[in-house]
Chains A and B, each alone.
Chain A
Amino acid sequence: MCKVCGCVSESGHVKVAGAILHTETGRQIEVVQALLGENDRQAEHNRAHFNAAGVLVVNLMSSPGAGKTSLLEATIQAVHGRLRIAVIEGDLETENDARRIRGAGAQAVQITTGSACHLDAGMVHAALHTLALRDIDVLFIENVGNLVCPASFDLGQHRNVVLLSVTEGDDKPEKYPVMFRAANLLLVSKTDLTEAVGDFQTLRALRHFRHLANPAPMLEISARKGDGMAAWIEWLMAERARCRPAKVARAGE
């Protein structure tokens, strides 16, 4: 017999969304829904837009000043004529980053979040309708510089790229496990400064990263000097190619 409402049926108390238990003082509604269910729905909607247009969407995350915008400027120049890039820029204030991206020759939309520390799927949805998606191969979403909050919000992206600059310390993955667990690619940036910094060890960073059970690749890069850019572009092209067949299959459905 059920101890809660005294009924004899056990089967009526299995965890089904919306199942109602009568307790001594009220009703308990079994829900089992994601806390960010509404954001997740919006993110799926965004992803459907991106898939229909055949756009690879990369969510770029890092702490402030790890070199996200510099990486994008160098990337836009490196793939000129091969890939059409657009960028959604997320910042608390200013249009500065969007201006830099436009200066490098790509479409850019700036989202200023005010005091919000992350982008959410709704903000990205508003921004994506200002872009000509059909004229884009790869859309970067440059998230707000922050190793905590952006990790919790699905935006509708296909891949997460997390930057870790050598000036930050190689134990960042150990300190911010949620963010680094979400990475599909770890980019160790500003490698031209490694010698000046002195104590950043790439292998130690990789070990901390693997301790999060993340099998994703790690690449070392200097956007300023160009070191490692070829491997990064190769990764991007491969991901883009992987995105393609899905689009063709979808179109044929």
Chain B
Amino acid sequence: MHELAICEAMLQQAVGIARAHGGRVKRINLRVGPLAGVEAHLLRAAFPLAAAGTVCEGAVLVIETPAVRVECQICGVASYVKPNRLLCGACGAWRVALLTGDEMRIESLELFETETANV
């Protein structure tokens, strides 16, 4: 259960960004791929605990999960695959490059407009 640690790390960044722009956080948009090693539902469960008492308290956590997509290094075809079966959909080769699916990042934050920015 490392999602609490990851949630705390994410909040640390979100709080820093919110401070820099001035304002409370309304919504946090994340992108977490199936190959990131992070369970979205555990991250969601950890969020209210980790966010309590911060400018992120009460914010909505939105987690977008991209599909796993690979590009074959033999035949060049791109295909959608299962996270534990990274094989080319066309020729079956395992020599593929991951195009999407291991992302683990904050995409954006939405802040309430009520407070003025610290410039």
* Chain A positions near chain B (C-beta within 8 angstroms): 20, 23, 25-39, 116-118, 120, 148-149, 151-153, 173-175, 177-179, 181, 208, 210-213, 215
B59 to chain A, nearest CB (A): 11
Contact with A along B83-119 (1 / 0, CB 8 A): 1111100000011111000001111111111000000
B92 to chain A, nearest CB (A): 10
A153→B8 CA distance, assembly (Å): 14
B5: Cβ under 8 A from any A Cβ: yes
Given contacts A213-B98, A215-B95, A34 and B105 within 8 Å (CB-CB): yes
A174→B84 CA distance, assembly (Å): 5
Tell whether, in the assembled complex, residue B111 and residue A38 are in contact, meaning their CB atoms are under 8 Å apart: no
Tell whether, in the assembled complex, residue A210 and residue B94 are in contact, meaning their CB atoms are under 8 Å apart: yes
Tell whether, in the assembled complex, residue B84 and residue A117 are in contact, meaning their CB atoms are under 8 Å apart: no
B91 to chain A, nearest CB (A): 13
Residues of B within 8 A of A215 (CB): 95
Residues of A within 8 A of B106 (CB): 31-33, 35
Given contacts A32-B106, A36-B104, A120 and B5 within 8 Å (CB-CB): yes
* Chain B positions near chain A (C-beta within 8 angstroms): 1-2, 5-6, 9-10, 12-13, 17, 21, 23, 26, 30, 32, 35-38, 70, 83-87, 94-98, 104-113
Tell whether, in the assembled complex, residue B37 and residue A178 are in contact, meaning their CB atoms are under 8 Å apart: yes
A212 to chain B, nearest CB (A): 6
Tell whether, in the assembled complex, residue A35 and residue B87 are in contact, meaning their CB atoms are under 8 Å apart: no
Besides A30-B107, A153-B2, 18 new A-B residue pairs in contact (Cβ under 8 A), listed by A number: A25-B112, A27-B113, A28-B110, A28-B111, A29-B17, A29-B21, A29-B111, A32-B107, A35-B30, A118-B2, A120-B5, A149-B1, A152-B6, A178-B37, A210-B94, A213-B86, A213-B94, A213-B97
Interchain Cβ contacts under 8 Å between A and B, 15 examples: A29-B21, A31-B107, A32-B106, A35-B9, A35-B106, A36-B9, A117-B2, A118-B2, A149-B37, A152-B104, A173-B84, A177-B35, A178-B36, A181-B35, A211-B87
Tell whether, in the assembled complex, residue A211 and residue B38 are in contact, meaning their CB atoms are under 8 Å apart: no
Given contacts A25-B26, A27-B21, A27-B23, A39 and B9 within 8 Å (CB-CB): yes
Residues of A within 8 A of B26 (CB): 25-26
B68 to chain A, nearest CB (A): 10
Given contacts A29-B111, A211-B84, A148 and B9 within 8 Å (CB-CB): no
* CB nearest to B104 among chain A residues: A35
* CB nearest to A22 among chain B residues: B113
Given contacts A26-B26, A118-B2, A38 and B104 within 8 Å (CB-CB): no
Tell whether, in the assembled complex, residue B32 and residue A27 are in contact, meaning their CB atoms are under 8 Å apart: no
Tell whether, in the assembled complex, residue A148 and residue B37 are in contact, meaning their CB atoms are under 8 Å apart: yes
Residues of B within 8 A of A27 (CB): 21, 23, 110-111, 113
Given contacts A25-B26, A26-B111, A212-B86, A178 and B95 within 8 Å (CB-CB): no
* CB nearest to A117 among chain B residues: B2
A239 to chain B, nearest CB (A): 22
